[in-house]
Amino acid sequence: MRILYFASLKENLNTSDENINFSSPVTISLIKEELVKKYGEQYFPKNLLCAVNHEIASEATLVNNEDEVAFFPPVTGG
């Protein structure tokens, strides 16, 4: 699956995207666990937003290798 990173997450990880493959469908929660192992917990806080194929997703959303997953920090305004 293609993983996309946006905003400060993209800057902190020094990449805008990467490809990761799993042997079966996995949840967003499991993907985040794998990314935490790779990059560190500080980059994947609880309030990190996620979309699968351009639709907002939850931690329980199932994802296949053909899907596109995007992670982005919450937007703040002022």
Architecture of the domain delimited by 2-72: Roll (3.10)
Query: Which pLDDT band, with edges at 50, 70 and 90, does 75 fall under?
Result: confident
Q: Is the pLDDT of residue 41 over 90?
A: yes
pLDDT at 74: 81
pLDDT at 78: 58
Helix, coil or strand: residue 2: strand
* CA angle, residues 36, 10, 71, in degrees to nearest 5: 60
Tokens linked to 43:
């980059």
CB 71 within 8 A of CB 4: yes
pLDDT tens digit string along 5-39? 999 999 999 999 999 999 999 999 999 999 999 99
pLDDT at 30: 96
Q: Which residues contact 59 (CB under 8 A, 6 or more apart)?
A: 27, 28, 29, 32, 50
